[in-house]
Amino acid sequence: MLQWIAFDADDTLWHNEILYAQAQDKLKDVLSEYIDSETVVDRLYKTEMKNLAHYGYGVKSFALSMIETAVDLTNDRITGSDIRRIMDIAKAMLASEVQLLSHVPDTIKLLSKSYDLMVITKGDLLDQQEKLARSGIREHFKYVEVVSSKTEDTYRAVLDRYGIEPQRFLMIGNSLPSDVLPVIAIGGKAVYIPYHLTWEHETVDNHQLQNNGYFELDHIGQLPSLLKQLTVQE
């Protein structure tokens, strides 16, 4: 009997990857007088991967990786005013309006009447809390967990902390390696809702999915009817 439903935030509740894609376009623009845009995209990704273990996820990490990419690719010729433009890109990301995905407000409100809802998300602690506060749906979530990674251990720790049995726990998200596979592995249920943009780092080879049972939906608005089906089956 399902009691807890946890949602990933970025690109599950609100648009996020689009902000990074737009920021990347602006970075290409800033660096266009120094270097071609393909090289910018390639080097930025490599810099982010190299820094991930030290910086973690989120806009501030991305900002530092953009600056590092700019310095590297221009062989230190980048100007102070171009560095300032890059910092402004990051500040605009932090200040940008929270754009909820379609069906999110209604679905969350509806589900909160029958289930205990949580958010489990990676990213900057403050940035994620601020986005949730500005989202207009904060009140429907009983707990909010900002975590530095989403592994089986992470989910086990969160469930332990609140005394939640895995079989009463359902995770919803747009990332198979972060939101789906580890939850299935510890005995929980998961719903995969793909987003049209997914960060390369967050994709997974198909063969990893064999023998793992999970649900897949086109959008979050289909969640209540999936839950009804599940209840009937029980």
Residues that bind a second copy (CB under 8 A): 54-57, 60-61, 63-64, 67-68, 70-71, 74-81, 83-84, 87, 90-91, 94-95, 124-127, 129, 143, 146-148, 161-162
Shortest distance (Å) from residue 175 CB to a second copy = 18
Q: Return the HEC string of the chain.
A: CCCEEEECCECCCECCHHHHHHHHHHHHHHHCCCCCHHHHHHHHHHHHHHHHHHHCCCHHHHHHHHHHHHHHHCCCCCCHHHHHHHHHHHHHHHHCCCCECCCHHHHHHHHCCCCEEEEEECCCHHHHHHHHHHHCCHHHCCEEEECCCCCHHHHHHHHHHHCCCHHHEEEEECCHHHHHHHHHHCCCEEEECCCCCCCHHHCCCHHHHCCCCCEECCCHHHHHHHHHHHHHHC
Shortest distance (Å) from residue 226 CB to a second copy = 29
Nearer to a second copy, 44 or 147 (CB): 147
Shortest distance (Å) from residue 110 CB to a second copy = 25
Nearer to a second copy, 81 or 233 (CB): 81
CB 171 within 8 A of CB 194: no
Shortest distance (Å) from residue 95 CB to a second copy = 7
Shortest distance (Å) from residue 202 CB to a second copy = 17
Shortest distance (Å) from residue 130 CB to a second copy = 8
> Cα(109)–Cα(105) distance, rounded to whole angstroms?
6
Nearer to a second copy, 21 or 133 (CB): 133
Shortest distance (Å) from residue 102 CB to a second copy = 28
Nearer to a second copy, 17 or 127 (CB): 127
> Cα(63)–Cα(69) distance, rounded to whole angstroms?
10
Structure-token match 């845009």, residue found: 37
Nearer to a second copy, 23 or 184 (CB): 23
Nearer to a second copy, 68 or 224 (CB): 68
Nearer to a second copy, 126 or 197 (CB): 126
